[in-house]
Structure 1
Amino acid sequence: MTRDFMPVNIAVLTVSDTRTPEDDRSGDTLAARIEEAGHLLAARDIVTDDRDKIATRLRDWIADPEVDAIISTGGTGLTGRDVTVEAHRDVYEKEIDAFATVFTIVSMKKIGTSAVQSRATAGVAGGTYLFALPGSTGACKDAWDEILVHQFDYRHMPCNFVEIMPRLDEHMRRK
């Protein structure tokens, strides 16, 4: 069976107290890879390392029917300002636990035991996929090239995120 490619509408959120649109290399990396893969960059923004601001931006995009997935970059580390993971978990309905595990495996091959410092996470809310990646361009490349490019490709077998998208919010449609 041959499947046709189905583009996904993906928003990119950079979490940083210092980045601007002019020097957001990780956001640029994700946006370029999303478009090169044939997907649509649905939105892009930069917010500061503030849990409420991050969660608000995520909720706004979750509510937008033109956004199928959100990838954030930055704020997944261990320092006091790193609150992206907590903001993501504030909005998740379900966490995709295996994403963190697979990301760690990919990272271990590149940076060895330093991979233990990442708190990359993923989940689903309101029928939208959410991914929180570290702020380095290398981590964004690794997550996209090794995991997300495949899971956002409807042709990827034996299964992928795209094929179950129509059912992510089925609990919200029940009467």
Structure 2
Amino acid sequence: MTGIDEDKQFLPVRIAVLTVSDTRSFDDDRSGDTLVARIAAAGHVLAARAIVQDDRAMIADRLRGWCADDQVDVIISTGGTGLTGRDVTVEAHRDVYEKEIEAFGTVFTIVSMKKIGTSAVQSRACGGVAQGTYLFALPGSPGACKDGWDEILAPQLDYRHRPCNFVEIFPRLDEHLRRK
């Protein structure tokens, strides 16, 4: 059975939000604002927030910095997942991943199909793990951020979600580093 197990205690997760854009600022970052509001409403902690240009090295550097920060459990980026030449967020994410969560993109496409039909094929949303941190790349529209959060990330980042969730395996994400 899927759903929330009310017998379990909610565990807040520390989440960083990265907006990838050549033109956005904090004054007009509607997608970042959408994620920040949903993170707070769910009871999680906003660990950090930044905006970086559509530059593969800059994006990867920011992701690596947050992965190395023990105050960040999850990174959600928005923007740069499309098909144009400046859309390099997916490549930057994959430069950082130790393991990719292949099904994240598939599930995001299924969710998007219900909202925007075959236009969902233009998204390259992705997810992965690096240094014990989850990373997710969502498209740059507020609607896509709502869908990605509401339909996938909110339940998977809730420790009470059954039959399983991302939070319960946090302690094992970097177990390979502890083996000697």
**What's the TM-score bracket when you normalise by the shorter of the two chains?**
over 0.9
Structure 1 position 3 matched with structure 2 position 8: yes
Aligned residue type for 1:133: L
Q: Distance in 1 between matches of 2:178 and 2:70?
A: 15
Structure 1 position 107 matched with structure 2 position 112: yes
Q: In the alignment, what sits opposite 1:57?
A: 62
1:4 aligned counterpart, secondary structure: coil
1:112 aligned counterpart, secondary structure: helix
**Structure 1 residue 174: Cα displacement:** 1.2
Q: In the alignment, what sits opposite 2:81?
A: 76
Q: Distance in 2 between matches of 1:146 and 1:121?
A: 15
Aligned CA-pair RMSD = 0.6
Q: Distance in 2 between matches of 1:62 and 1:124?
A: 9
Q: Distance in 1 between matches of 2:157 and 2:166?
A: 6
Q: Which ranges in structure 1 are unaligned for 5 or more consecutive residues?
A: none
CA deviation profile, 1:34-78 (whole Å, cap 9, x unmatched):
010000000000000000000000000000000000000000000
Q: Distance in 2 between matches of 1:171 and 1:3?
A: 28
After TM superposition, the runs of 4+ consecutive aligned structure 1 residues lying more than 6 A away are none
Q: In the alignment, what sits opposite 1:120?
A: 125
The one of 146, 154, 163 aligned to 2:159: 154
Structure 1 position 13 matched with structure 2 position 18: yes
Identity %: 79
Q: Distance in 2 between matches of 1:69 and 1:153?
A: 12
Q: In the alignment, what sits opposite 1:174?
A: 179
**Structure 1 residue 173: Cα displacement:** 1.2
Aligned residue type for 2:172: R
Q: Distance in 1 between matches of 2:66 and 2:166?
A: 18
